[in-house]
Amino acid sequence: MSEFQAVLDEEMDKAVDEVDGEEELQAEKRERKKIQLNFSLSKFFSIPSFIKSFVFWALILLSIFIWTHFSADSTSDEFKSRLASKTVTIERNEGETYRVSEIYNPPIDVVSDESGGEETSSVSATPIKQNMAGTLTAAPVPGLYESLPEGIIPRARLEDGMTPFEAYKKPYSAQTRKPKIAFVAVDAGLSRTSTDRLIKEMPEEISLAFSPYAPGIKLLSDAARKEGHETWMMLPLENEDYPKHDPGPLTLLVTASIEQNHARLLSIMGRAAGYVGVISWEDHVYTPKDAETSAAIQQIFGRGLGVIDSSPSSMRDFGRRMAYSNEFPFAKNNFWLDKDLTPGAMRAQLKKLEDLAAARGEAIMLFHPYPKSIDTIQGWMKSRAAREYEVVPASFIAQYND
């Protein structure tokens, strides 16, 4: 029995030793892994590794900056090379309508030789003939445009000083000595139903200003002009709530570069043909100081277009000072009809318009192509009060008069 006990004790000691050895081995392995992990982390986050990574990314950023710096000049020069031929200054001359002082090459119209020979190039200075019945001149008129990637861009004609404003405005002579009132529907083209009503139901003297975002704007503009309506182009401008209320990708911004605004302006101008000028976006933020330094305004007037500043506020100015100083075609909106669409509010606005026209001899009102707005204008046109006034195209008020 004692011998058996001794063997049992010996076996128990061996088992304990094996367990202890296994635990020591596992502990040793864990310690080894911990050391390896600490070594790897210390290697990854070591100061030399950090310095190497910092230098690597710094070199990449420096390379990008150097490349941008040197390539930006060539890109900017290439873009600016297009600017010189885009702007002209139009001055008033005694006994003349307009004179272009800074000239650039006019577009060349290709005509076919009736004898069967090769095509020849000529620049047309055909006089503008207005239809006595009120039909507007077909657009574009030779010499009053240049073809650019953005489209047919209006410009003044060098041969005789004819401008798009003079060529495309609705022919109109005052019929009476009554005060003159002009109505302009803005953002035309966005609603096909409302646009059809404006074109077909409104009197010819009502002017239409098309949104550059309108689908099929050229066809709609041509249709309006065919029906005798004078057309204008809306000009998206930075507004008071920008960018919360973004006028779209063609918006001219006060803080944008000359190149950015120039590209957007050309894109807007190329959307249609035959319009007499542009109308600034409502609630724009351009101040008299901004207007004095705006290359876009110089570009618009320089091409022989008119401007209507949609803001009635004297604190807002999109071309007024420049127009008054240089006798460019310009009009300042006096009232919005439909900021409030309630019948009482719109009647009140029309009464203000009547009073101002009676006092000054003329007044202008802008309105949106809302069904209620169209109905209100149509109702006013039939009213007894309307008989005391003469409704005229917007260009009649915008044109410079000695």
134 found inside a domain = no
User: Is 103 inside any structural domain?
Assistant: no
Give the pLDDT score at 86.
35
Q: How many Å apart are CA 165 and CA 301, to the nearest integer? A: 10
For residue 36, the one-letter residue type is Q
In a domain, residue 321? The reply is yes
pLDDT per residue rounded down to tens, the chain (402 residues): 556 556 556 655 665 555 556 666 676 667 666 655 555 545 545 666 667 777 777 787 777 777 666 665 554 444 444 443 333 333 333 333 323 333 223 333 333 333 333 333 333 344 444 434 467 999 999 999 999 999 999 999 988 999 999 999 999 998 899 999 999 999 999 999 999 999 999 999 999 999 999 999 999 999 999 999 999 999 999 988 888 888 999 999 988 999 999 999 999 999 999 999 999 998 899 988 888 888 999 999 999 999 999 999 989 999 998 999 899 999 999 999 999 999 999 999 999 999 999 999 999 999 999 999 999 999 999 999 999 999 999 999 999 765
Whether residue 85 lies inside any domain: the answer is no
Residues 176 and 54 in one domain: no
- Domain end, chosen from 54, 80, 106, is at 80
Which residue, of 18, 49, 80, is where some domain finishes?
Answer: 80
Chain centroid to Cα 216, Å, comes to: 17
- Domain of residue 10: give its range: 2-80
- Does 106 reside within a domain? no
DSSP assignments along 90-139, one per residue: EE--TTSS-EESS--PPP-EEE--TTS---EEE---PPP---TTSPPPPS
Number of domains composing the chain = 2
The answer to whether residues 396 and 175 touch, using CB atoms and an 8 Å cutoff, is no
For strand 99-100 and strand 90-91, is the pairing parallel, antiparallel, or unpaired? antiparallel
146 lies in a domain?
no
**Distance in angstroms (rounded) separating the CA atoms of residues 152 and 142:** 11
pLDDT on residue 59: 81
pLDDT of 31 reads 67
- The answer on 62 and 174 residing in a single domain is no
Identify whether residues 171 and 71 lie together within a single domain: no
- Residue 318, domain member (yes or no): yes
Residue 150 within any structural domain of the chain: no
